[in-house]
Amino acid sequence: MNGRTTEDRGRLVEDRLGLRAHVFGEERAILVGIDKGDSGAPIEARMRELAALSETAGVEVLAELVQRRKRPDPPTFIGKGKVEELSAAVAELGADVVIFSDELTPAQARNLEERLTVKVIDRTQLIMDIFAQRAATKEARLQVELAQLRYLLPRLRGWGEALTRAGAGIGTRGPGETKLELDRFKITRRIHAIERRLGKAEAERKLRRRKRSRSDLPQVAIVGYTNSGKTTLLNRICSSDSLVEDKLFATLDPRVRRGEVGGGRFALFIDTVGFIRDLPHHLIPAFAATLEAVRYSDLILHVVDLSSPSWEEDYRSVLETLEREVFEPDVPHPPILNALNKIDLLESPIDRITGVPISAKEGRNIDSLLAEMGGVLFAGDRAVELFVPYSALDALYSLADPDGIRVIERSSGGIRVSLVASQRELARLCAAGMRISASSSPPA
């Protein structure tokens, strides 16, 4: 066998609160997938992504097993023959965990663990574990824990049924239905406690969003498939030093930075968590801050990694997630500009997608990208002359671009200035007591 002791097996069986539903650093895994031959992402891309997710979670991948079949086997997902083949590989390689590329039902997970005698998890659990490892804010950690507990409940029930039937599981030392019900009660109580705390966190998030919305700076939400280079681009535009890692989900909590778009105009750039195809539904609430940042932005900057072999599937996955989870029906959504990243890794140009080709890492074509963004964000700006009473000077210097103000003349009652401002800025300035001169130019 693979060296697993009776004590290890007992701990696996007796784990009622879900430790075996998680992966831990330095574990060794075998990855398993099914090639259904459908129109989705190729199995090679799915397995490559599963390996990258495993690496991000700190798991060493020992081997991959792929089976061709149109639909999963209801009891074991891969069928009796493949289970035997997988069991032999587990024993030979000494694997600690088997990770499946598709979501398993509670019964499938239970049956596989009984036959393989090692921990079995699926892609959804792996992603939730990565989120749990990397979430930095209190709200993000609570959202991930809530998703994990909701995912665990039905699987706890399935495991319990296997262990309370005499001789049915790996061992027959299960805690019994009374202990199982107590565990369910504990998890349910914790879920309700987290939901109450998240309600308060949501109110705080709305307050922060209102404060940002009062700013005259437009907001740009940077979105894209995970590991597409969003944070690198944020650092390039805003001269910031946010952590950049060559791992999936390196950014989980939205970051907000101020950056110049061009011509002395500035915007707030919001770096969001990376999207991923077939995003587990249980994790949608953990994206709450990201989804709101995108929904209420003035421009969506979609970073596309053209060097990825699956960039077209990744691109469609992001757009589908935006349509399904972010954009509201019958409500106009912000304009989308594609930043076609990592052109430094391409042997030849790709012309099957519109956008601005860039290299965020090397800084190539960033000026062209900023110009495109400025044309969208400040399309309604106008050059105006204003009479500013001295009592309103403070409001004048709260403009997004105070350095662009030019004083034309001074008088006893105030000053006359020229500047470029957005419609929202002009409305606020006029409310503060300023007057627009009749010689001002019309809107651009």
Spelled out in words, what is the top-level CATH class assigned to the domain 382-436? alpha beta
Average pLDDT over residues 189-199: 87
**Of the given ranges (17-26, 162-171, 330-339, 404-413), which has the lowest mean pLDDT?**
162-171
Reported pTM: 0.74
- Sorted by where each begins, the domain ranges of the chain are 6-190, 215-377, 382-436
Tell me the pLDDT band of 12, cut-offs 50, 70 and 90.
very low
Architecture of the 215-377 domain? 3-Layer(aba) Sandwich (3.40)
Query: Parallel, antiparallel, or unpaired for β 219-224 and 299-305?
Result: parallel
The token pair at 220 is 């740009």
Stretch (H or E) spanning 223: strand 219-224
What pLDDT does 93 receive? Answer: 96
Cβ neighbourhood burial of 354 (10 Å; 0-12, 13-18, 19+): exposed
Task: Give per-residue pLDDT as tens, 277-305.
Answer: 877 666 776 666 677 788 889 999 999 99
> Has residue 159 got a pLDDT over 50?
no
- What distance in Å separates the CA atoms of residue 26 and residue 58, rounded to the nearest whole number? 6
Average pLDDT over residues 188-192: 89
Beta strands in 246-317 (DSSP E): 255-262, 265-271, 299-305
Q: Check residue 362 and report its DSSP letter.
A: T
**Helices 176-213, 288-295: crossing angle, 10 deg rounding:** 30
- What distance in Å separates the CA atoms of residue 429 and residue 292, rounded to the nearest whole number? 28
258 contacts 307 by C-beta, under 8 angstroms: no
- The two domains 6-190 and 382-436 share their CATH topology (first three levels equal): no
More confident of the two residues 439 and 192: 192
CB atoms within 10 A of CB 211: 9
Using DSSP's 3-state secondary structure scheme, residue 209 falls into: helix
Spelled out in words, what is the top-level CATH class assigned to the domain 6-190? alpha beta
> Has residue 174 got a pLDDT over 70?
no
- What distance in Å separates the CA atoms of residue 219 and residue 377, rounded to the nearest whole number? 9
What pLDDT does 279 receive? Answer: 74
What pLDDT does 378 receive? Answer: 85
Task: Give per-residue pLDDT as tens, 90-145.
Answer: 999 999 899 999 989 988 988 998 899 888 989 988 888 887 777 777 777 888 88
